A = this chain, B = another copy of it.
Amino acid sequence: MSSDLFFIGIDGGGTKCRARLEDSEGTLLGEGVSGPANIMRDSELAKTSIQEAISLAVASANQTLANKQKISVSQCVVGAGLAGANIAGAKSEFEAWAHPFHSLYVLSDLHAACLGAHDGASGAAIIIGTGSSGTLWHNNAFHDVGGHGFPIGDKASGAWLGLKAVKHTLLCLDELAPMDALALEVCNALQTNDINHIVSKCAAFNTHHYAALVEAMLPMLYTKDETVCAMFEEGANYIETMAQRLLQQHDLPLAMIGGLSNVYSTYFSDSVKARLVACKATPQQGAIHYAKTACFQLKGEK
C-alpha cells in the first residue's frame, strides 16, 4: 500500500455514474461522468458505465502527467457506491466481476452518500429525490430504513409523488373526482388530456418519468394548492418518521441529500431540524473513504 496506488470513488445511480480519481494524499486528479449504473436493474450496463467513467477520470489525470507517471486502472483501488447494491443478491453477483482494477469495494449509493456527508464520521443521511431511503452510520455499521424501490417503497419520493399525481389525474378524467388544477397541470406536462394517451405513455414510464412530474407540482405547493399540499404532507410525515427513527438512539447529525431534500426539510419538527447539517463531501468521496478503510484494514490483517 503505497504511492503507486490511486483511489477512485464511484457514485452510480439510475441515470448517471460519476467517478473521482485521487492520489493517496486525497488530491483530486481527475473526474469522469457516464451513463446508468444501477446493478439491480442492469449490472452489465453498470459495469460498462463504471469502466467508462473511470477511463474518463484516468484519461483526464494522464493528460498532465509524463509518460512514466501515467496512471493505469490496475493501480486504482475503486470504491463503488451503486444503486441496487443494497440488494444482497445483486451485490454479491456484481462483486464476482473480473474487473481490471487493483481492487473493488462495493457499497450502496446511500451508504456512500452518508459516509461522504459526514466525512466518514458517525451520522445519519436521508436521500430524497427520484427515490427515498435513509441510513445511520454508527459503530462501523450501517442501519438502513426505508427505500425498497418503486412502487412498494420509496414513499415520499419524486416517483411516489408523480404516480400519485397521475392516479389523481385519471380519477378526474374519468369524472370520478372533480377536475382540478393538478389534473390540468399533469395533462399539460404529459402534453395530452386523452385518457388513453396518458395510459399508453405511463405504460412505458419508469421512476424518472414519474419523478419528472414533480416539476409541475412544486409551483402548486408554493401557491398552497390543497391536493398537492396534501400529497407533500403525507410524504413529509413519512420522512419525519424516518428521521426520528434514525436519530432516536444517538445524538448524531442528519444530512439531507437529493432533489427534494430542501422541500421536505422545511416540514421537519424542531427536534429534527436541530440535527440538520450540510454535507461535508460528495458520495464519490464517501466511496473512496470506504475503499481506503477496507483496503488498509485488509493490509493490516495480513
A: residues with CB less than 8 A from B are: 40, 87-89, 145-146, 148-149, 151-153, 155, 163, 166-167, 170-171, 174-176, 195-196, 199-200, 202-203, 238, 241-242, 245
A243 to chain B, nearest CB (A): 11
List of B residues within 8 angstroms of A40 by Cβ = 203
Cα distance A241–B171 in the bound complex, in angstroms = 10
List of B residues within 8 angstroms of A149 by Cβ = 199, 203
List of B residues within 8 angstroms of A87 by Cβ = 196, 199-200
Cβ contact within 8 Å between B175 and A151:
no
List of B residues within 8 angstroms of A146 by Cβ = 174, 176
Cβ contact within 8 Å between A242 and B151:
no
A170 and B199 in contact, given A175-B245, A176-B241, A176-B242 (Cβ under 8 angstroms): no
List of B residues within 8 angstroms of A152 by Cβ = 163, 166-167, 170, 199, 202
Cα distance A140–B96 in the bound complex, in angstroms = 62
**Copies per assembly:** 2
Cα distance A196–B170 in the bound complex, in angstroms = 33
A179 to chain B, nearest CB (A): 14
Cβ contact within 8 Å between A196 and B153:
no
A151 and B151 in contact, given A146-B174, A176-B238 (Cβ under 8 angstroms): yes
A45 to chain B, nearest CB (A): 17
A134 to chain B, nearest CB (A): 9
Q: Classify the secondary structure of A's interface with B.
A: helix
A170 to chain B, nearest CB (A): 5
A269 to chain B, nearest CB (A): 15
List of B residues within 8 angstroms of A245 by Cβ = 174-176
A239 to chain B, nearest CB (A): 10
A194 to chain B, nearest CB (A): 10
Cα distance A148–B173 in the bound complex, in angstroms = 12
A87 to chain B, nearest CB (A): 6
Cα distance A98–B209 in the bound complex, in angstroms = 36
Cα distance A145–B195 in the bound complex, in angstroms = 10
Provide a sorted-by-A list of 27 A–B residue pairs whose CB atoms are within 8 angstroms. Answer: A40-B203, A87-B196, A87-B199, A87-B200, A88-B196, A89-B200, A145-B175, A145-B176, A146-B176, A148-B170, A148-B195, A148-B199, A149-B199, A149-B203, A151-B151, A151-B163, A152-B163, A152-B166, A152-B167, A152-B170, A152-B199, A153-B170, A155-B167, A155-B171, A175-B245, A176-B238, A176-B241
A66 to chain B, nearest CB (A): 49
Ranked 10 nearest A-B pairs via Cβ:
A151-B151, A148-B199, A176-B241, A152-B202, A152-B166, A145-B174, A148-B170, A153-B170, A88-B196, A152-B167
Which residue from B167, B241, B242 sits with its C-beta under 8 Å from A153? B167
Cα distance A170–B40 in the bound complex, in angstroms = 19
